[in-house]
């Protein structure tokens, strides 16, 4: 049965890419093999988002809680991120990709910080898809960061608009849709402020298996939802 598409294609989709470890475990592979396969799913998703006309994708690449993982896994993840940043920056002009990174810089390795600064700077004028990588990101930290910036500016009273304007990427629209893969159904400290009216979509698929078809499924589901924003 076809359903009426009541919503336009979202401008901003945010994704919690979950299930890399389980994907690897199911194949008796090291967890890093899952992250490598996850990086390929990122490429597929970028293409699918571009094709669908989405303007911005925020991807949860490394949370402030991920530091408690084994050192080898963290190092492997950072290597993968460095390679990905290099590749995206080289190809960015071709695809018009603009890269943003959201999260606390401390204590990211300096090599990564330099790459991030270079990638962000060299893609800043691109007008295609915006890829906002949440890296060493935590939503509570982001809200505290905004409040501290306001206190430092001498604010005595803080409004909702003040907080929105001091998040890591105040220029981005709030995500209309947040997707989480692997069957887990929670936000895990992701975009808590911005998610106030986001539609949530939980996919049973493990992130390394995520593809254009799954992306389209999430998009169609979103497009049929009645968004009321608290009104009738
Ligand atoms: C969650 O799976 C995934 C992560 C903690 C990292 C996400 C990283 C990638 C998708 C790889 C590369 C990213 C980019 C942007 C190139 P998990 O390890 O928690 O899976 P599990 O819950 O099955 O253990």
What's this model's pTM, rounded to 2 decimal places?
Answer: 0.96
- Whether 58 is in the pocket of ligand 1, judged by its Cβ within 6 Å, is no
Give the mean pLDDT of 169-196: 98
Q: Which fold has domain 12-223?
A: Undecaprenyl pyrophosphate synthetase (3.40.1180)
Q: How far is the CA of 191 from the centre of ligand 1 (A)?
A: 17
Give the mean pLDDT of 75-99: 90
**Separation of alpha carbons 140 and 151, rounded Å:** 17
Specify the range with the lowest mean pLDDT, choosing from 86-95, 103-112, 142-151, 168-177.
86-95
Q: Can 66 be counted among the known catalytic residues?
A: yes
In tens, the pLDDT along 98-119 reads 999 999 998 898 989 999 999 9
User: So where are the chain's domains?
Assistant: 12-223
Give the mean pLDDT of 197-211: 98
Helix (H, G, I), strand (E, B) or coil at 87: helix
Q: Can 126 be counted among the known catalytic residues?
A: no
Residue 53 has, within 13 A of its CA and on its CB side, a CA count of 4
pLDDT of 94 reads: 81
Classify residue 28 as left (phi > 0), alpha (psi -120 to 50) or beta.
left
Atom of ligand 1 nearest to the CA of 59: 15
């Amino acid at each position: 049965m076809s359903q009426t598409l009541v919503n336009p294609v979202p401008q901003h989709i945010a994704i919690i890419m979950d299930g890399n470890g389980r994907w690897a475990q199911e194949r008796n592979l090291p967890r890093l093999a899952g992250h490598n396969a996850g990086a390929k799913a990122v490429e597929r998703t970028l293409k699918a988002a571009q094709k669908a006309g989405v303007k911005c994708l925020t991807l949860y690449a490394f949370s402030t809680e991920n530091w408690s993982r084994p050192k080898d896994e963290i190092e492997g993840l950072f290597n993968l991120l460095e390679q990905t940043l290099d590749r995206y920056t080289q190809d960015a002009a071709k695809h018009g990709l603009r890269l943003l990174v959201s999260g606390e810089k401390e204590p990211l390795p300096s090599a990564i910080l330099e790459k991030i600064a270079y990638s962000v700077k060299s893609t800043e004028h691109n007008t295609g898809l915006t890829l906002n990588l949440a890296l060493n990101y935590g939503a509570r930290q982001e809200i505290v960061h905004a409040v501290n910036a306001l206190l430092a500016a001498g604010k005595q009273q803080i409004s909702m608009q003040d907080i929105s304007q001091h998040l890591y990427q105040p220029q981005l629209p709030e995500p209309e849709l947040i997707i989480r893969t692997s069957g887990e159904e929670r936000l895990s400290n992701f975009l808590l402020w911005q998610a106030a009216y986001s539609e949530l979509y939980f996919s049973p698929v493990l992130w390394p298996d995520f593809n254009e078809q799954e992306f389209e499924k999430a998009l169609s589901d979103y497009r049929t939802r009645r968004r009321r924003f608290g009104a009738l």
